Amino acid sequence: MEPVCPLDHRYGRKEMKEAMSHAARVARCLEVEAALARAQASLGMVPDKAAYEITKRATLEFVDLKRVEEVEARTRHDIMAIVQVLSEACKGDAGKYVHLGATSYDMVDTALALQLRDGLDILDGRLKGLIIALASKAKEHRDLVMVGRTHGQWAVPITLGFKFAVWLAELDRHRERLSLCRGRVLVGKMSGAVGTGAALGDKAFAVESRVMEDLGLGAEEAATQIVQRDRMLELLSHICNLSVTLEKMATEVRTLQRPEIGELAEPFDSKEQVGSSTMSHKRNPIMCENITGLARTLRGFLIPAFEGAVQWNERDLSNSSAERFIIPHMMVIADEAVFRMTEVMKGLKVDPERIAQNLKAAGDVIMAESVIMALCGKGMGRQEAHELTRAAAMEHYSGADYRKVLLAAPEVRKLLTRKELDSALDPRNYTGTAGERVDRVLKKVLSPER
């Protein structure tokens, strides 16, 4: 069969795709079945020998995926297919104890928690790699003064390192959010058809507790037939939040790579990479454009995820088909987007000369706020200083020299010497605490505890 989904042939890292694959899903369901049998054996509910046999056979070595798919095609029930094939694989009468007292979503949701644990471990490692790559750039360009921009217009000076530190702090918060939500997300259930545990009798709590302890998961306190989806929505929302930061970073690189700005550029292999099939001179920011598209796709999955959390009574199946797309795709795409941004940051091209040229081109007028503060420091009222510098700026935009206009103003000459005005108009003197803020962020994100 020819691949349809781009994740099959174009996007996605091998490790994450394996963790979120169909084979991993089945393997994790088998793991849960084995844990259930062991818990029941420890409580005298099934023979120890049967639990041992179930545990031994509950792997893809003995449970053939093709056979599972054949049974599912006939029964139209994926978990029942796994149960049947596992039961067939067990020797003796052990098979009759498989899935005893459980319902399908005891397996599905508990197995999903195991897959998500693997996926979150991978994603955290990927985020850490991005943070390290970006931190290196922030440290390198800590004091590289550049023109800041708001509303797409020249603002006041910043440093490139500070721009990177803003992203770093944000990425670190994403790591923290994903870490903090693990306790709420990585939970399973073993409480039966409507969550009461009736089929497990007076040992229901003990069975569930031992299964989850065995698997290293938390337990849903009060489930219906499924683990409640507010947990998953928290994780998926955090992933979408992460996607916003990645797109923001990509957009900034794309903006500053525009030829008329030319301050930053994503890596481009000049030996072989092709920018356009016809315009051979092109060096398009395709990596950042890919990240932008992936980020928007991630957020597009969130609405059906929220809709699926609304269930009829104790359970319906409206979430199942959607989640089979949503969850693995979001994990794989998020991992891919972080990987691509890491590659961008590792190979990011910074042009200090162009940055200096643009800062110079912005001219003295971008230092208006600095002049305001200098005048206020000598006793002028803030509103008066604002109007004086604003009027001078308007003359500048009509063709006058901003510095000369200020020097011609009696109010300025009265309060500021030429040397003091020159100092106020020097961008290097007006980056505030940018450097120290870079240092603080670097200290936090690179601490051994992170």
pLDDT value of position 281: 83
* Mean of pLDDT values over 202-226: 96
**Residue 282's pLDDT is what?**
80
Model confidence pLDDT, tens digit, residues 422-432: 999 999 999 99
* Overall average pLDDT of the 93-98 stretch: 96
State mean pLDDT over 206-213: 98
Rounded to 5 degrees, what angle do the CA atoms 70, 75, 76 make? 90
Distance CA 311, CA 112 (A): 19
Domain pair 117-143+151-186+227-357 / 363-445, same fold: no
Q: What are 294's two structure tokens?
A: 């992936």
Domain boundaries, the chain: 117-143+151-186+227-357, 363-445
| pLDDT exceeds 80 at position 301 | yes
DSSP bridge pairs for 187: 218
Which pLDDT band holds residue 202 (cuts at 50, 70, 90)? Answer: very high
User: Residue 365: pLDDT above 90?
Assistant: yes
Alpha-carbon torsion (66, 72, 75, 79), positive or negative: positive
Measured at the CA of 201, the angle between CA 198 and CA 207, to 5 degrees, comes to 100
For residue 154, the cross-strand partners are 149
Cα dist from 206 to 114, 185, 203, 209, whole Å: 20, 21, 5, 5
What is the number of residues in the chain? 450
Other C-beta atoms lying within 10 Å of the C-beta of residue 417: 9
Catalytic residue at 99?
A: no
Using 50, 70 and 90 to split pLDDT, how confident is the model at 176?
Answer: very high
Please check the confidence at residue 271 and state whether its pLDDT lies above 80: no
The answer as to CATH 1.20.200.10 being correct for domain 117-143+151-186+227-357 is: yes
Q: What pLDDT is attached to residue 284? A: 87
Closest CA to 253 of 129, 347, 136: 347
Q: CA 227 to CA 32: how far, in whole Å?
A: 15
pLDDT of 279 strictly over 90 = no
Q: Which of the residues 9, 179, 276, 321 is marked catalytic?
A: 276
Q: What is the pLDDT of residue 396?
A: 96
Give the DSSP letter string of 188-212. Answer: E----SSSS-GGGGGGHHHHHHHHH
In this model, does residue 270 exceed pLDDT 80? no
CA distance 241 to 235: 10
AA identity, residue 196: T
Q: Which CATH number fits domain 363-445: 1.10.40.30, 2.40.50.140, 3.40.50.300, 1.25.40.80?
A: 1.10.40.30
**Considering 151, 270, 280, 447, which one is annotated as catalytic?**
151
> What one-character DSSP code corresponds to residue 156?
E
Calculate the average pLDDT of the chain.
96
Average pLDDT over residues 84-112: 96
Predicted confidence (pLDDT) per residue in 9-31, tens digit: 899 999 999 999 999 999 999 99
pLDDT at 269 over 80: no
Q: pLDDT digit string (tens) for 221-268?
A: 999 999 999 999 999 999 999 999 999 999 999 999 999 999 999 998
Residue 450 pLDDT > 80, yes or no? no
Confidence of residue 40 (pLDDT cuts 50, 70, 90): very high
DSSP states of 39-104 as a string?
HHHHTTSS-HHHHHHHHHH-STTTS-HHHHHHHHHHHS-HHHHHHHHHHHHS-TTGGGGTTTT--H
Give the global pTM.
0.94
Six-digit token string for 277? 């099939």
| Per-residue pLDDT at 370 exceeds 80 | yes
Best CA proximity match to 236, nearest among 294, 191, 300, 292: 300
**What are the φ/ψ torsions at residue 251 (nearest 5 degrees)?**
-65, -40
Q: Which helix (H) or strand (E) holds 219?
A: strand 218-219
Mean pLDDT of 397-423: 96
Interval 65-89: pLDDT, tens: 999 999 999 999 999 999 999 999 9
Which amino acid appears at position 436 of this protein?
A: E
CB atoms near residue 323 (< 10 Å)? 19
Sign of the CA dihedral with 423 first, then 425, 428, and 429 last:
positive
Asked if 276 is an active-site residue, the reply is yes
Per-residue pLDDT reduced to its tens digit, 326-358 = 999 999 999 999 999 999 999 999 999 999 999
pLDDT of residue 375: 97
Element (H, E) at 147: strand 145-150
The answer, yes or no, to whether residue 8 has pLDDT greater than 90, is no
